[in-house]
């Protein structure tokens, strides 16, 4: 993690925005991480989300969710106990393909797998056509949001599935990587996105059969 400002260094308006999240995560991870670690992840997650988010009123909520995912991933790395299989879906903007794949995997695998997404250049919001296409098949991804990939999440997963993020995708020695060659739904019609959606479902079903 790069150098992050301290909570007390933030303007009062930003402190108010994430104070509840900080307190909630300190309670949730009490005994797992110290206060300084939790604060660092909350502030860093907030700043990463705030830098890109288009809907400002959800920044605090999304920063808490992002920080929780990262802390859970870090806990998995530090644990000696085997956990559930973990998958990270990566694309450029984390607004289309990777979000559809994660939505399908959560729907098909349920609680049997840990699912993460990230982008090399996260967008400001999810592609609304993608959201509509997934809603047609009963998969609700409206509350998801673009986010960057992070070190601890890459380290925590068993497989990284890349979808067009190219040379900027994180490469970690010993990590399993799979490349899914899929069209980018950005700028596509709903009909075209449906084709991409269904192709992703087929690939996710094969993935689940391998792990579950």
Integer Cα distance of 92 and 89 in angstroms? 10
Residue 21 makes CB contacts below 8 A (sequence gap 6+) with 42, 46, 60, 61, 63, 64, 67
Integer Cα distance of 35 and 38 in angstroms? 5
Annotated catalytic residue 91: yes
Annotated catalytic residue 40: no
CB environment 133-167: b (16+ within 10 A), e (fewer): bbeeeebebeebbbbbbbebbbbbbebbbbbbbee
Annotated catalytic residue 165: yes
Encoding tokens for residue 75?
């806990």
Residue 187 makes CB contacts below 8 A (sequence gap 6+) with none
Which of 43, 87, 169, 193 is an active site residue? 169
Strand spans (E) along 56-109 = 86-91
What is residue 148's three-state secondary structure?
strand
Which of 38, 49, 91, 113 is an active site residue? 91
Which of 131, 139, 165, 204 is an active site residue? 165
Site of tokens 């660092």: 40
Beta bridge partners of 87: 115, 159
Q: Could you give the residue numbers annotated as active site?
A: 91, 165, 169
């Amino acid at each position: 993690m790069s150098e992050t400002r301290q909570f007390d260094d933030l303007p009062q308006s930003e402190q108010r925005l994430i104070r509840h999240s900080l307190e909630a995560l300190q309670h949730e991870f009490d005994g797992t991480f110290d206060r300084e670690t939790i604060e660092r992840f909350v502030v860093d997650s907030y700043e990463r989300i705030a830098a890109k988010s288009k809907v400002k009123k959800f920044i605090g909520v999304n920063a808490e969710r992002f920080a929780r995912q990262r802390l859970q991933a870090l806990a998995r790395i530090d644990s000696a106990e085997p956990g559930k299989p973990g998958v990270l879906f990566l694309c450029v903007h984390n607004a289309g393909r990777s979000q559809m794949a994660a939505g399908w995997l959560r729907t098909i695998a349920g609680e049997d797998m840990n699912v993460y997404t990230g982008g090399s250049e996260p967008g400001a919001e999810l592609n609304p056509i993608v959201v509509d296409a997934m809603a047609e098949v009963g998969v609700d991804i409206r509350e998801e949001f673009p986010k960057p990939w992070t070190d601890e999440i890459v380290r925590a997963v068993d497989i990284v599935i890349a979808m067009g993020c190219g040379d900027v995708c994180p490469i970690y020695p010993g990590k399993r990587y799979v490349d899914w060659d899929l069209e980018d739904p950005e700028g596509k019609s709903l009909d075209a996105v449906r084709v991409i959606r269904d192709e992703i479902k087929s690939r996710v079903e094969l993935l689940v059969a391998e792990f579950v």
